[in-house]
Structure 1
C-alpha cells in the first residue's frame, strides 16, 4: 500500500485481487487504475486504434486529479446534459467512482483517461439493489450509454496540464 499526500488530497493505492487492477482511495472518492497489460479489447478500443499504455502511479493519479480539479470548469462551461446545479459535474467531482487508463498520445504525451461513474448511492438505495455493481475495485472497464451527468469521461494530459476529449453521456 502506498500513500501520497499533497494539495489537500491524500491518495492511497493498493493491489487488488486482480493483478491488472490497482485500487485507488482518497478521502472523498475512490477508483481503479488499470495496468498497462490490461486488454485493449476490454477497454473497448477499436482495432484500428493502437496506442501504448502505461500503468498510472499514485503520483500520476494525483497530478491528473489536480489538473482535473483546476481545469474542469473550463471544459464544462456549456454544461452538456446537466440540468440544474445539483447535476453540474464541476461541482460534484467527489461524487464519482473513477477508472484510470494511462496511455501515450500521438505527440508522446502521458495521458490518463478518467472514466467517471456516479457513486453516491444511499444506504436505502443499496438495500433496494439500486446501485452500480461496476463500482468495485476489481470491476472491468465499462462504458455506459445514456445516464447524462452520472457518466462522463475526459482525457487528462499530464505533460501539458490540459483536459481534452471531454464527453458527458446523453439522456434517453
Structure 2
C-alpha cells in the first residue's frame, strides 16, 4: 500500500509517494537523494542515520516515513545552509573528531541534539545532581553520545569537540 506524504528536509518541502513500510532513512536516501544520513546497521544500534526530527535527534532507520508526514527534518547537510559551518561542525574539524567520516553526519546531528538537551537542563543516566543543571563533563557527553558508534574509535576527539561546541553556543 502506498501513501502520499510531505517531508520538509533541510528547509525544503518534498511531496512523495512511498510504500507504507518505507523507513524514513530509505525515503531520505533513495527517494530524495539525501545521502547525509548513513545506513550503518539498519537496526537502530549504530546511530549513523541520526538526524534532527522536529528538533530532536532521531534514528531514521527505525522510523517509518508515513509516521512523519509533515515533519521537519534537519540532516548534517542542513545545519549549514548558507555554507558557513555550524559550531558543532567547526568543532569536529578543529578537534579532528573523525577518521573515515562514515559516522560523522550522525555524530554531528546527535551532538546538536545533546547540546540542546544541556540547554534544556535534561539530566542523563550519569547526572549526579538531578535538581541542578547538568555540567558538560566528559562523562556526561560520552553518555549522551553513546548511541552513536564510531568504528574508527575517534571518541577521544569527539567528546572534546562536543564540549567545544557547547562552549561556543
**Between Structure 1 and Structure 2, which shows a larger proportion of helix residues?**
2
Q: Would you say same fold, with TM above 0.5?
A: no
Q: TM-score, normalised by structure 2?
A: 0.31
Q: TM-score, normalised by structure 1?
A: 0.30
**Between Structure 1 and Structure 2, which shows a larger proportion of strand residues?**
1
